[in-house]
């Protein structure tokens, strides 16, 4: 290998990873609103609400809603409405504070570093200017969803403590979602690669 080729290879090895890790372009307000519509009312929140309702149906919580399709329907509607409150609050505050609503991959290769990054970005987010900040929109959204959803709950799950508990479950779900998003590109490449 000639010296220029070695130098070019060294530049590619050092510069390309830096370019790949740069934050994506800033979203416009319209793009953020489109993303909001998907995260609040799209297929993923519908599927998550159905799965969450299935679990709560299984453990019979809240028991006042009973079993059968009527109880299941109430649980689906309740979880879906809680998610809509979370996402609406998150987007409104996020727009005001110039928070980027996307999850941006770490660009790291070590497993535990990626897990740590994903968990950290459950409570942090990027700002439109590229800096990191506390995810005020997400935190307020999760708390609003957990607490406001108590207004239509029956007596056994209506209290303030139950609202904080519901918010805690939402934070845990957000953390799991961040980990999933961090590793999904790798899974997709391995599972769906062209053969």
Which tens digits make up the pLDDT trace of 21-59? 445 688 999 999 999 999 999 999 999 999 999 999 999
Query: Is 20 among the domain residues?
Result: no
The predicted-structure confidence for 6-28, as pLDDT tens digits, reads as follows: 434 333 333 333 333 445 688 99
Q: Which domain holds residue 115?
A: 30-191
**pTM to 2 decimal places:** 0.79
167, 144 in Cβ contact below 8 A?
no
Query: Is 15 among the domain residues?
Result: no
Query: Is 13 among the domain residues?
Result: no
What is the count of structural domains for the chain?
1
Query: Is 62 among the domain residues?
Result: yes
Query: Is 162 among the domain residues?
Result: yes
Is the alpha carbon torsion for 169, 121, 91, 133 positive or negative? positive
């Amino acid at each position: 290998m000639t010296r220029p080729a070695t130098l070019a290879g060294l530049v590619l090895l050092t510069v390309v990873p830096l370019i790949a890790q740069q934050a994506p372009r800033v979203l416009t307000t319209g793009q953020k609103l489109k993303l909001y519509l998907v995260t609040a009312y799209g297929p993923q929140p519908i599927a998550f609400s159905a799965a969450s309702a299935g679990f709560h149906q299984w453990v019979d919580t809240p028991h006042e809603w009973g079993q059968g399709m009527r109880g299941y329907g109430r649980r689906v509607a309740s979880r879906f409405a809680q998610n809509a409150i979370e996402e609406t609050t998150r987007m409104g505050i996020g727009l005001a504070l110039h928070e980027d609503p996307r999850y941006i991959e770490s660009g790291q290769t070590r497993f535990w570093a990626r897990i740590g990054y994903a968990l950290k970005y459950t409570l942090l987010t990027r700002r439109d200017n590229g800096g990191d900040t506390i995810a005020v929109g997400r935190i307020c959204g999760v708390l609003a969803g957990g607490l406001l959803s108590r207004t239509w709950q029956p007596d056994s799950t209506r209290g303030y403590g139950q609202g904080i508990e519901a918010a805690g479950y939402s934070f845990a779900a957000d953390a799991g979602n961040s980990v999933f998003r961090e590793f999904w590109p790798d899974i997709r490449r391995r599972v769906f690669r062209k053969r």
